[in-house]
Amino acid sequence: MVYTFRHLGESTQMPWNECKPMDERLRFVARLLEGEKMAPLCREFGISRVTGYKIFERYKECGLDGLHDRSKAPYRQANKLPFQVERAILGVKKEFPSWGAPKIRDKLIREYPMIPPPAVSTVHAALDRNGLVKRRKRRRYKAGGTPLSAAHTPNGLWCADYKGEFLLGNRHYCYPLTVTDYRSRYLLACEGLESTKSKFAFSVFERTFRDFGLPAAIRTDNGTPFAAPWALFGLSRLAVWWLRLGIRLQRIKPGKPQQNGRHERMHLTLKNETTKPAAFNFLQQQERFEDFIRVYNQERPHQALGGAYPAEVYTPSARRYEPPQDPDYPFHDRTIRVTRCGRICLGSRKINLSVALAEQLVGIREVDDQVWQVSFLEYDLGYFDQDQDRVEPGPNPFAPDTVLTMCPE
C-alpha cells in the first residue's frame, strides 16, 4: 500500500514511496501513541481518517506485523479444481499412462457422473502440473536444397543473390541485390540496398518483373529474404509471392555456392569493377552499378556466349507481370484466409500455420477421421487434427530426390 503526504504550509503532495511505506506507517503509529490527534495527523500525512484508523487498528491487533503490506491475492479461487478430482485424474493417468486429457475426461464422466466434468484443458493442466505431459519437439526445418534444372532459353531460369555487404565512404553498409538470366547471363538488376529485409527485395523484384516479365523459375540460396529458416519448409513471404506468380523455386544446397556458379562469377567481376574503392554514398554507388549493368550487358563480350554480348542473346519474357489472383480450391472442403499472425481460424480454434502465409488463401480437406490436410496452391503443406492446434509438416513438396553438387548445364 502506497500513500501520499502533504507538508505543512504546502499545497503539493509528495508520494510516500520517497521512503519505505513500512517506515512511514511506523512513524504514523508512533506519533499517535505519543498522544497526537488522528485528524490533524492524517492531514499531515495526506491520508483519510478511514485509512488512518485502519492502520492503527492493524497495529493494535497484530503489532508491527500489521504494518507490513498484505497480500492482495484472493482468499479462495472460485474455479479451482477440487483436489479430489485432481487425485482421480492422476489415478486414471497412473493406470493408463498412454491416455491423454480427452480420454481421461471421458473416463471421469463415466465413473463419476455426479460431479461436474472438468474441461479438457483443465485435465491437461492438472497433468502438466504433476509432470505427466510429454512435450513433443517440433521438427525443425533443415534446408537441403531443391531439384535444380538448367534452362536453355532466356527467362527459363533467373538467378538471384546478395553480393556480400561492403562499407561505403559514409560508414553505411551497402547490400547489392543482383538478378541475372541463367541462359544469356544478362544482368537484369543490381540494386544497392540498406539491408536484406524483404520489403526492399519486394520492390526490386516487382520493378524487374514489370521491365522484363516473369521467369519460369528463380534460383537462390537459403538465406533471407529468399527463405526463412524457422518457417514451414523454409518458405518466406517473398517465396510465397513467387509461387503465387507461377514461378518455381530452386534453392541451392547449403554450403554449395558452385550450384549458382554463373551468378557468383558475375559477383566477382562486379566487386572488382565497382567496389574497389567503394563510393561515398548510396546514390554514387548506384550510379557505378548502373554503368556496370550497361557495360556488362551491351559492351563486354562473354566467352561462354561465343564472344556475344548478353544483350544480343536475351529477350524479355512473354509472360507479363500482373498482380496474382486469389487461388481456388475446388477439390477441398473449405477455403480459408490465413490471419495476419499466420493462423487458421476454425470457429473458436486457432491453428498455427506460418507467418509467411499470412493473409493467403489455403484449402482444407478432411483426409481421415478428424484429420485435415492444408494445401497452398498445388502444394500439400501438412496436417492437423482435433487435438493439436498447429499444422504438422507433411512430406516436403519442394524436397529433392537428389540435389546436384554442380550447376547443371
Whether residue 73 lies inside any domain: the answer is no
CA neighbor of 204 nearest in space, from 132, 289, 146: 289
In this structure, the answer to whether residues 178 and 245 fall within a common structural domain is: yes
pLDDT category of residue 368 using cuts at 50, 70 and 90: confident
Q: What angle do CA 44, 38, 63 make, to 5 degrees?
A: 105
Residue 294 lies in a domain: yes
| Whether 253 contacts 259, CB under 8 Å | yes
Query: E-assigned strands of 182-324?
Result: 187-193, 217-220, 248-251
What confidence tens digit (pLDDT) does each residue in 295-312 have?
999 999 998 899 999 999
- Check whether 345 has a pLDDT greater than 80: yes
Q: What is the pLDDT of residues 160-217, one digit of tens each?
A: 999 989 999 999 999 999 999 999 999 999 999 999 999 999 999 999 999 999 999 9
Specify the length of the chain in residues.
409
Q: What share of the chain is helix, strand, coil (3-state, %, to 5)?
A: 35, 20, 45
| Secondary structure element (H or E) that encloses residue 89, with its range | helix 83-95
Residues 178 and 304 both lie in one domain = yes
Q: Which CATH number belongs to the domain containing residue 291 in this structure? A: 3.30.420.10
Domains held by the chain: number: 4
Residues 121, 171 within the same domain: no
What pLDDT sits at residue 404?
36
* Rounded-to-integer distance, Cα 337 and Cα 399, Å: 26
Co-location of 370 and 252 in the same domain: no
- Report if residue 319 sits inside a domain: no
166 shares a domain with 299: yes
**Rounded mean pLDDT of 239-254?**
92
Q: How far separated are the first and last CA of the chain, in Å rounded? A: 77
3-state secondary structure at position 165: coil
Compute the C-alpha angle 378/380/384, nearest 5°. 145
Examine residue 409 and state whether it is found in any structural domain, yes or no.
Answer: no
Q: Which three cell numbers stand for residue 129?
A: 502440473
Residue 56 falls inside a structural domain: yes
| pLDDT single digits (tens) 63-108 | 888 788 777 666 665 567 888 888 999 999 999 988 888 899 999 9
Q: In the 8-state DSSP scheme, what is residue 303? A: G
Indicate whether 55 and 87 sit together in one domain.
no
Dihedral sign computed on CA atoms, order 253, 254, 255, 261: positive
Which pLDDT does position 4 carry in this prediction? 45
Indicate whether 343 and 295 sit together in one domain.
no
Lowest mean pLDDT among 51-65, 273-287, 327-341: 51-65
Residue 262 and residue 301 in one domain: yes
CATH number of the domain that residue 30 is part of: 1.10.10
What the block records as the C-alpha cell of 380 is 500439400
Rounded Cα gap, residues 178 and 143, in angstroms:
22
Range(s) of the domain holding residue 48: 4-67
> Alpha carbon 112 to chain centroid distance?
44
